[in-house]
Amino acid sequence: MANLLKTVVTSCSCPLLSNLGSCKVVPGKKEFLRTFHTHQALWCKSPTKPGIPYKQLTVGIPKEIFQNEKRVALSPAGVQALVKQGFNVVVESGAGEASKFSDDHYRAAGAQIQGTKEVLASDLVVKVRAPMLNPTLDIHEADLLKTSGTLISFIYPAQNPDLLDKLSKRQTTVLAMDQVPRVTIAQGYDALSSMANIAGYKAVVLAANHFGRFFTGQITAAGKVPPAKILIVGGGVAGLASAGAAKSMGAIVRGFDTRAAALEQFKSLGAEPLEVDLKESGEGQGGYAKEMSKEFIEAEMKLFAQQCKEVDILISTALIPGKKAPVLFSREMIESMKEGSVVVDLAAEAGGNFETTKPGELYVHKGVTHIGYTDLPSRMATQASTLYSNNITKLLKAISPDKDNFYFEVKDDFDFGTMGHVIRGTVVMKDGEVIFPAPTPKNIPQGAPEKPKTVAELEAEKAATVTPFRKTMTTASAYTAGLTGILGLGLSAPNLAFSQMVTTFGLAGIVGYHTVWGVTPALHSPLMSVTNAISGVVVVVAWAPAGTGLGWAASISSGAATAISFAVTAMEEGLTAVGGLALMGGHLYPSTTAQSLAALATFISSVNIAGGFLVTQRMLDMFKRPTDPPEYNYLYLLPAGTFVGGYLAALSSGYNIEQIMYLGSGLCCVGALAGLSTQGTARLGNALGMIGVAGGLAATLGGLNPSPELLAQMSGAMALGGTIGLTIAKRIQITDLPQLVAAFHSLVGLAAVLTCIAEYIVEYPHFATDVAANLTKIVAYLGTYIGGVTFSGSLIAYGKLQGILNSAPLLLPGRHMLNAGLLTASLGGIIPYMLDPSFGTGILCLGSVSALSAIMGVTLTAAIGGADMPVVITVLNSYSGWALCAEGFLLNNNLLTIVGALIGSSGAILSYIMCVAMNRSLANVILGGYGTTSTAGGKPMEISGTHTEINLENAIDMIREASSIIITPGYGLCAAKAQYPIADLVKMLTEQGKKVRFGIHPVAGRMPGQLNVLLAEAGVPYDIVLEMDEINEDFPDTDLVLVIGANDTVNSAAQEDPNSIIAGMPVLEVWKSKQVIVMKRSLGVGYAAVDNPIFYKPNTAMLLGDAKKTCDALQAKVRESYQK
């Protein structure tokens, strides 16, 4: 017989022996060990396992005899699980018939079919309803239980004291399924929630059956049908199940609960949460709401009375544990409802929430249909029995985890949320002794933590702290500073031409701003590439003779402009050719050091110029879809030929129209960026860029009129560089584009240094007589500094992106002080450089600042992680654009000013977009910092729980069952080059009628738009690749999300943990979908080194392994499954 010992078994020296006296025990204080034995004893000298082997225990499943009860305690699958664990299982004949489980099903699962008395005499009896009088046998079921046996069932001990008396006489140990604590660890055993879920769903189905209209609104030829309005009171499991079912059927759903968390749940399901004006928290213990104050109840009644006049269906679920259900709706409220309305009372068994409810009955009162059934779960017997069976089997396995023997301890001393809490709360009787209710657990949480504020809420809170006066003063101060600056420019203008150029710059800046903002995020990579090519137009502009006007200033400013482009962007890499070509001289070969440096700078810059348009065209070709119409881009040779040919004809006739040509070229450059705003006009944009560069080249050559020998040298340098650039651009893989840009940028930085030093050498003899000599020297010094930083920093960026160097930030001790010292020394060098007019001092200072800036480029870039390189690229790209504008001012050249404004606007906007996407400041990124602008600074949230791992077969099943799928790739997809199998997988799934889309985070990848280009290269149509802002609101309606190689961009800690270093960062809200599969190498952190809570969410499954191999396997398995 099964006995519950009030002991903890002591160490023993010999095994269990049969036919001996009862076992010797040591009395303990309220600590119990559940063990089963049949006349066995413990010889206390050797340690043995407590309990009894599973194979010696019998589990009985009797047939339920409660009126209209169709459920059964264990399904055949549950029986099979217990048999596998070692139990013997007996089932009463016909026990599962009402649930569609035949006796043959149970036999096949390993059970024996026996009679009522034999089943109830088992060691463990598992039931749904509490024991009651058996009318057939005329005996109470409790009297048929085995003495000292165990019963697992719904008991409701507070309402059934007489039943407890009967069970006590049988010395029964009782586990009440209705007393399983509402804690996280017990969710799998919570039978009340399982049944409530079914009841909530069934309530909506019954309401729809008795309601005379559609739930969803319709517009038909016969007229318009309004949607049904449903009010659900109570945001527990049943209420939320009702809300989800009603919303899916198209009804307008409203939800009410006294708990803020429940209202949030209603809102997440698409229901309208209702609240009263009076603020009072309804959070109670055990997952239930607490009783509210008199004032709150009065406000609540007023709200209900108003809603009764508006809604068509009322579903109420409010219960108070161990007490009669509260009456929330009076007779007057019900009678105020429209005729044909329906009310469903899920609290009917406990008395009901409606004054007019008749428990167990369906009837109509004053035109309102009342559904007061008390057996809703039983009306879906198969589903209810399956879930209840799962609860039972999981509970038995959890309380007795030993693989061989069955036993469990019952302790009065236990912590909240532990297995000890679950066992003590569930066991209401032990060996006939009533131990209900359970004592209060230790370490009870102080209540649910406050919901983290969203980014919008944080910004609104921050804005609220600023007084209107301060806000207006800040705005007024900004405008004052801007207008003062304009006045300063006017006062310092050396001539009228400068003032006119400021006007051109201002207008060009506005045009550039609006043009670049319109560019589709998917085209950001082509945008960076085409601006690189466009910036090459300054090559031709800079072919001004070294001694004419402001040619020297143009070359120096150009070198500074390109050097500013600090690590990667391909937009402005041709800028240094300006200075190089301007300084070229000699005949077929350069004859001086300065001319040699200039020729080298021109050659280096030409590599970038020629490759820019080809890379852009390659990327745009990847976005072509099979359904797109044919293209005839060669026809753009017509406007190009007219533009260039017309200029040459005018030049031969003696007309000087170079400035008009510059204007035309500038407008073409504006058109190039505007064309890249959409996929439909992107190829036109690239063609316009080529036309603009060609026009600028022709105009500059016409204005310079170089000797045939010098023209041959210029052409040779550019041709050789261009050939190399075209070769590299043709062979480079798209996945290597970021490091290609970084490598090219290092050449730009080197060319800038060479150009600036060469310009100083060439112009030094004129400094004594030139009124602008000091400005020339300053620009040369700054250009050398920025070029040095760009050169070394770009090499470091290349190493990080290529994998030659560790992409993790190198945080040197005292790095900020080191960088400050290098910057101070670099700036301090300008003092002797400007004060001492000697050539030797000037060259020494330029050489020193070159070395110092190169070191600073290493220390700055090494401290920035590989994932932040895109921001570094775009920031310095913006700087180079503004430097190019400065060159336009010095040369009085409209083309340079317009192109510079475009490049500066483009870089600034891309930098802003990425910083906003990370919720970080620009200084935080550039200085290698961590944390967002919303990080609170406290201890980050501790993530607990277990993750769920699945295999390939499980993933295939989930994919096949989903009808709506979103794929969110990260840099892991780029690194693994897994875009090709994913593209093929998407194609197959789309052919099967599934809705498949991609969600791209703005900072995913290693440069803006990289993932868009990679997916386009693999053949993914661009119209199913959406940005974060476009797709985030679709996740709740998505069946499955595949996260491939992404981590930080899908990290829910950004919204859930205000102390996280990524707090407030906009992320792809993948966890809101129905199911998530995360494909990663491991559970490791991402670049931000923040644990990801989504790995441990119940709707997330981890598919660990190499991304490329996993994607290849998914592709093959899906293809194989659809070919069967």
Q: Provide the annotated active-site residues.
A: 971, 1006, 1087
Tokens describing residue 391? 């609860």
Q: What is the CA radius of gyration of the chain?
A: 39
Asked if residue 437 has a cis previous peptide bond (ω within 30° of 0), the answer is yes
CA distance 249 to 218: 12
CB 35 within 8 Å of CB 49: no
- Residue 515 CA to its chain's centroid (Å): 29
- DSSP bridge partners of 430: 433
* Full strand arrangement of the beta sheet holding 427-430: 112-114, 88-92, 58-61, 124-126, 150-153, 173-176, 427-430, 433-434
CA distance 539 to 541: 5
- Residue 217 CA to its chain's centroid (Å): 34
CA distance 1067 to 1055: 8
CA distance 785 to 772: 20
10 Å Cβ neighbour count for 463? 9
How many angstroms separate the Cα of 906 from the Cα of each of 536, 606, 747, 788?
A: 16, 22, 22, 24
CA distance 753 to 760: 11
- Count CA atoms closer than 13 A to 817's CA, side-chain side: 3
Provide the H-helix boundaries in 676-707.
682-704
CB 407 within 8 Å of CB 34: yes
How many angstroms separate the Cα of 710 from the Cα of each of 49, 206, 551, 581, 582?
A: 98, 92, 17, 10, 12
Tokens describing residue 1013? 């280009």
Cβ neighbours for 828, distance < 8 A, ≥ 6 positions apart: none
Three-state secondary structure call for residue 279: coil
CB 921 within 8 Å of CB 912: no
Tokens describing residue 525? 């990579």
By residue count, the chain amounts to 1124
**End-to-end Cα distance, the chain:** 55
How many angstroms separate the Cα of 25 from the Cα of each of 10, 47, 53, 725?
A: 8, 14, 20, 89
* Per-residue DSSP letter, 402: -
CB 985 within 8 Å of CB 1111: yes
CA distance 585 to 546: 9
Burial class of residue 65 (count of CB atoms within 10 Å of its CB; 0-12, 13-18, 19+):
middle
Burial class of residue 450 (count of CB atoms within 10 Å of its CB; 0-12, 13-18, 19+):
exposed
DSSP string, 450-479: PPPPPHHHHHHHHHHTS-HHHHHHHHHHHH
Provide the H-helix boundaries in 277-320.
294-308
Which helix (DSSP H) or strand (DSSP E) does residue 35 occupy?
A: strand 31-36
